[in-house]
Amino acid sequence: MRLSRYFLPVLKETPKEAEIISHQLMLRAGMIKQQAAGSYTWLPLGFKVLNKVVRIIEEEQNRSGAIQLLMPTVQSADLWKESGRYDAYGKEMLRIEDRHERQMLFGPTNEEMITDVFRTYVRSYKDLPLNLYHIQWKFRDEVRPRFGTMRSREFLMKDAYSFDLDEAGARAAFYRMFVAYLRTFSRMGLTGIPMRADTGPIGGDLSYEFHVLADTGESQVYLHKDLAGKTIPPIDTDYRGDLKPIFDDWTSLFAATDEMTDEAGFKAAVPEDKQLSARGIEVGHIFCFGSKYSEPMKATVTGPDGKDVLVQMGSYGIGPTRLVPAIIEAFHDEAGIVWPVSVAPFEAVVINLKVGDAESDAASMKLYGELQAAGIDALYDDRDQGAGGKFATADLIGIPYQLIIGPRGLKEGQVEIKHRKSGERETLPIGDAVKKLVSLIVPQRLDTI
């Protein structure tokens, strides 16, 4: 992408309405624009990051055996009356009436709709286990939408729903998602720490929230320090095998939100030198709720003995539009965002210091082309502007590597690479630059670990 033709409305000033750093930086870097309270347009740069986050989620969901579909945003109230949640959901649900005076709603979640899909088609235990997921916009009329896309009213959710013959099957499905979640957050450079949590309006008695630790997090969390450095299950984890040992290993160390414990309970459970009391951002939440929906909605399958049984269900959410600011909370400095390569909007930016100088233009275009040919997601800053402004933009929008090309270096046959994270700059022969960038970038995509 050539920056001169891109749409990147960066702001010089920090907008006053933004309280936390991720919200400030998303506005300044031209990633989002507020439309109404808790409702945002994703501008091109933001949308590019969001898509990378979504792609990682999809890859890990697919790897775990979940199958993607897509359900509508606007739902019929009838299904929610069947489950009994239409009245129970209260004011957070945006209720709509169509021209025929039928009651509709903008979906805050999809347990009812997926249960309806299931009961329409699935008849036999032989079709189980089944896990269906989608990535779709939700609307919740939050009392306090705030912090930009961190807590918005319209937000994107990955929601998966599992169906099993019995409780043991439902548990195994829960473990598969648990492992997929650990891998998903880790591929974005984050540690998503699973914590016992309250089930709220989704229901059931077993649930874990995944929290990213950050001072600006909305939840108070208590955990055993060793959870932060634990090994993540690798790419070749066998999702058909028994994943309970991984679940047991992670959950044997204490971690809970303040809805599930208090300071006294925490202090009694964790040795003093291992106690970590922190703020957390809830980036995922998984639930196991048995027949809470299958019973009122009569979702059954024929079991091995020929008798009908209620299907055992769970649901599993991740918030992609919350993950983007959560990643920024974890990775930024005074100059701006410092994206991990795996979610960076561009992996490298070619900075032409002297647009209009024939040699600089030719070398920049050549290297930009070679980077693209090598599969690098590259941006080319070809704007006719001073070097200071270009560096400031590249730092602000957080591109992991800057390839700096100017007449002085070219005379010596040299270019420079700046590492955004460390600030380190290295000079190297022009012919080595692309190879060097590929060797730096590819391993950090974390798509083979």
Interface residues with ligand 5CA (CB under 6 A) are: 109, 111, 140, 142, 151-152, 155, 157, 159, 202, 282-285, 287, 315-319, 321-322
Closer of 83 and 152 to ligand 5CA (Cβ) = 152
What's the CA gap between 361 and 414, in Å, rounded?
Answer: 15
The DSSP-derived string for 31-45 is: -EEEEETTEEEE-HH
What's the CA gap between 259 and 243, in Å, rounded?
Answer: 27
Closer of 70 and 264 to ligand 5CA (Cβ) = 70
Q: How far is the CB of 34 from ligand 5CA (least distance, A)?
A: 14
Closer of 283 and 378 to ligand 5CA (Cβ) = 283
Q: How far is the CB of 38 from ligand 5CA (least distance, A)?
A: 7
Closer of 117 and 440 to ligand 5CA (Cβ) = 117
115-139 exposure pattern, b = at least 16 Cβ within 10 A, e = fewer:
bbebbeebeebeebbbbbbbbbebb
Give the ranges where 223-357 is alpha helix by DSSP (H). 244-251, 263-269, 320-330
Closer of 254 and 316 to ligand 5CA (Cβ) = 316
Closer of 256 and 379 to ligand 5CA (Cβ) = 256
What's the CA gap between 375 and 297, in Å, rounded?
Answer: 49
Q: How far is the CB of 74 from ligand 5CA (least distance, A)?
A: 17
Which parts of 46-129 are beta strand (E)? 67-68, 74-76, 94-97, 103-106
Structure tokens, 105: 């709603």
Closer of 189 and 303 to ligand 5CA (Cβ) = 189
Closer of 233 and 317 to ligand 5CA (Cβ) = 317
Q: What share of the chain is helix, strand, coil (3-state, %, to 5)?
A: 40, 30, 35
Q: How far is the CB of 52 from ligand 5CA (least distance, A)?
A: 17
The DSSP-derived string for 98-118 is: -TT--EEEE-S--HHHHHHHH
Q: Strand 300-302 and strand 103-106: pairing? A: unpaired
Instruction: Name residue 306's amino acid.
Output: G
Structure tokens, 213: 């630790």
What 8-state DSSP symbol labels residue 151?
B
Closer of 49 and 202 to ligand 5CA (Cβ) = 202
Q: How far is the CB of 258 from ligand 5CA (least distance, A)?
A: 16
Q: How far is the CB of 109 from ligand 5CA (least distance, A)?
A: 4
Structure tokens, 45: 């740069």
Q: How far is the CB of 339 from ligand 5CA (least distance, A)?
A: 20
Closer of 153 and 390 to ligand 5CA (Cβ) = 153
Residues 401/391, Cβ–Cβ less than 8 Å? no
Q: How far is the CB of 36 from ligand 5CA (least distance, A)?
A: 14
What's the CA gap between 386 and 29, in Å, rounded?
Answer: 19
Q: How far is the CB of 331 from ligand 5CA (least distance, A)?
A: 18
Residues 259/198, Cβ–Cβ less than 8 Å? yes
Residue with tokens 């970590």: 276
Q: How far is the CB of 156 from ligand 5CA (least distance, A)?
A: 8
ω into residue 400 within 30 of 0, thus cis? no
